[in-house]
Amino acid sequence: MKYTKLPDYTERKTSINMIIIHCFALSVSQMINTLKSSKLSTHYIIGPRGGIIRCVPDSKQAWHAGKSFWNGAENLNQNSIGIEICSPSLGQNKYHPAQIKSLCCLCKKLIKKYNIPVSNIVGHSDIAPTRKTDPGFAFPWKELSSAKIGLWYNLEDSLKINTGDINKLLSLIGYDTKDLPTTLASAYAFCRHFLPQFVIVDHDISHLIENPLTQDFSFTKTEIFINTLKAVAYTYCKASNKPCKI
């Protein structure tokens, strides 16, 4: 592991209980310069062939999440580890296998060291759905879940939840549903994580960064969306010991 210090961070006031996965469409050197010039930071960067760079000590609060929400908590910089992965397509094309291997090794160490709940391993788009698209719909969440990094679902579990209320189901998972625009953004972030076939490819990366949401939300009315949402909600409730008989 290499070390490149980023100067902008603060002391932690809370314990670590989250991992937030990001991606960036720049070279590693460009990313580091961009973070410095923007007075932002991350704990780790994973390069295009899997090399890991440590930028901020785990014990410090890096500035990577921005305005954020997950499972009732806000300002997630304070309790999370941020990991940035190089992806020229901003997560719309497959990640290099070496990157995923390095990410898995790093996450396993962090999970063990800080006892991070499996339901608290999320993407930037999950915690900031109105602003962010990363780590993108090509990020292999299902593959990581097989290594106990994050959660996946069994579609049959949709039968164990009675409600089809999108607001309630997204909230059970952890998403922000404070108003209609945020709920719609959370629904699209949910698709980036669990139903990538509903996500529209945008080959213009600059446009994608500025426009993280599609204008077509008709997928929320489909049976596969509702059933997957129910199955995922059940999975997250079970992992978090939340009541899920609704």
Mean pLDDT of 6-32: 96
Which H/E stretch holds residue 111? helix 97-114
* pLDDT tens digits along 47-97: 999 999 999 999 999 999 999 999 999 999 999 999 999 999 999 999 999
Is-catalytic flag, 84? yes
Residues 104/147, Cβ–Cβ less than 8 Å: yes
Mean pLDDT of 102-112: 98
Which H/E stretch holds residue 84? strand 80-86
Largest CA distance in the chain: 50
Distance CA 111, CA 59 (A): 14
Domain boundaries, the chain: 2-240
Cis peptide before 48 (omega within 30 of 0): no
CATH code for the part of the protein at 2-240: 3.40.80.10
Catalytic residue among 84, 143, 156, 223: 84
* pLDDT tens digits along 122-168: 999 999 999 999 999 999 999 999 999 999 999 999 999 988 899 99
Residues 8/39, Cβ–Cβ less than 8 Å: yes
Residues 215/137, Cβ–Cβ less than 8 Å: no
